[in-house]
Chain A
């Protein structure tokens, strides 16, 4: 996680090389107020920092003290500070949806296209439909997960935050598949002995096939809220990734088809 990396990096820099990290306290004094904007420091700031480095100014040392105090105390202020530091570091792959806007415009386009593709797939499968939230129900939050596949293809996946589901209301039985490597080995051995032909398949968005028995609502996906109907929620018909019962539902589908 970039956040952790940044924290390690930060601590190391704050602890070992106070001389080289003068850029930090300067930004800190500007951004460390809780609730302040989380926008990354604008690029021109670096230039002002290098200017500051030329002279020993009292602001610098007090900033260092302030930083040390923050690190020591931890808590919300420190967290806000870290968040400020962590986000601009995002590489070519966003962690959260909000990181996308900080990428170069070409990458932004590509990632947004990936999200669009995922949404289209969801609509095509009729996984959910727009509805009003019925009384007594709570919509589950969701988030985007981004990966770059080994062939360079950019993939976005809409994932429900399954940890907010309540047992007995949102799900009953769950189960997760665990592979027994013995069986994989055994089958491959048989294939070797009998000189079988082996072919591979990858099922696209397998979990989206699972049928859902419970009534579950999902918030509209971040960045793709339907204009004019922002208050509406998505009523799920089939399981999506991240729901607790997704694995079981998919497994049932698979067994039924066999």
Chain B
């Protein structure tokens, strides 16, 4: 993998890697960094069959910048059941700049190694055009949470053998401003999440079944991309299991007949039919309380959050 001028090589055989590297260095003038320790600001540690990722250096920098290093620790990224409301007054330019700076830093952390703050950051980032004082305080609240979870890392454990499992969830009409639902999904492999997303749906869903259905479809796109990537690097992937906690949406997904109740759903969401027919994904039911994607769609209380 290569990003501008950082690159990493990997293969099961050390000598093969060295050879490839040498060929590469013959073309371009390079610095040999030996074993990969850092990639794009993520520190990578190897211990036995585990790979550990963290961004502690950057996180400390961010906390320093917003003078949050010794902040009081919060238990969750955002308070339970907190729903932000859009600010209707005139935008305050200084506040906006500060707010965007803080959200930008958090977004970077979120994309990289902190899936636990995904929902909170995405939610707040929807107000960056015109933030209120309260939004700013909430953004700082996330920093309080991060101050407490500084030592959390992502651990890819090579010994676990669970396979690739996707969880999808939605929060119907969660946005009080425009009644859009929230999609959340994440993929779990090797004992850790590899890909996650939390975002507002583009259209208004008329019922929770439809909201869930859209979430599963979004999850499906990502699953297909992963299957393709795996195929590209020479792995065979079994149908990816998508867990959802809504029976109705699973039924619509696996039933190819267009029913009266579902005919208005946009074509792009019916993509899932095709994927299921081709046996590329399978959708299964799990109870809502066990659905890990929950945390990408709502602010949970402490108890539930800890469980994940």
Alpha-carbon gap, A172 to B25, bound state (A): 30
Query: Chain A: which residue is nearest B50 at the CB level?
Result: A192
Residues of A within 8 A of B8 (CB): 187, 198-201
Alpha-carbon gap, A225 to B109, bound state (A): 43
Q: Does A119 contact B (CB under 8 A)?
A: no
Given contacts A181-B111, A183-B229, A188-B53, contact A202 B31 (CB under 8 A): yes
Question: Which candidate, B36-44, B66-74, B75-83, B276-284, is the interface stretch facing chain A?
Answer: B36-44
Task: Output the least CB separation between B27 and chain A (Å).
Answer: 5
Residues of B within 8 A of A181 (CB): 111-112
Report yes or no: B12 in contact with A197, Cβ–Cβ below 8 A: yes
Given contacts A192-B157, A195-B49, A200-B36, contact A187 B3 (CB under 8 A): no
Given contacts A186-B229, A192-B156, A192-B158, contact A201 B32 (CB under 8 A): yes
Q: Which of A185, A196, A250 has the most CB of B within 10 A?
A: A185
Report yes or no: A195 in contact with B12, Cβ–Cβ below 8 A: yes
Q: Does B61 contact A (CB under 8 A)?
A: no
Alpha-carbon gap, A196 to B4, bound state (A): 23
Question: Which candidate, A8-16, A22-30, A203-211, is the interface stretch facing chain B?
Answer: A203-211
User: In residues 1-29 of chain B, which contact A (Cβ within 8 Å)?
Assistant: 1-14, 17-18, 21, 24-25, 27-29
Residues of A within 8 A of B5 (CB): 202-206
Question: Which candidate, B136-144, B168-176, B188-196, B292-300, is the interface stretch facing chain A?
Answer: B188-196
Given contacts A189-B156, A191-B51, A195-B158, contact A201 B21 (CB under 8 A): yes
Q: How many residues of A contact B (CB 8 A)?
A: 34
Residues of A within 8 A of B226 (CB): 182, 186
Residues of A within 8 A of B1 (CB): 183-184, 187
Query: Chain B: which residue is nearest A203 at the CB level?
Result: B5
Residues of A within 8 A of B189 (CB): 186, 189, 193
Alpha-carbon gap, A85 to B301, bound state (A): 51
Residues of B within 8 A of A201 (CB): 6-9, 21, 24-25, 30-33
16 new A-B contacts, CB < 8 A, other than A186-B195, A198-B8, A199-B33, are A184-B42, A185-B154, A185-B195, A186-B194, A186-B229, A189-B192, A193-B158, A196-B11, A198-B35, A199-B9, A200-B8, A201-B24, A203-B5, A205-B5, A206-B4, A250-B4
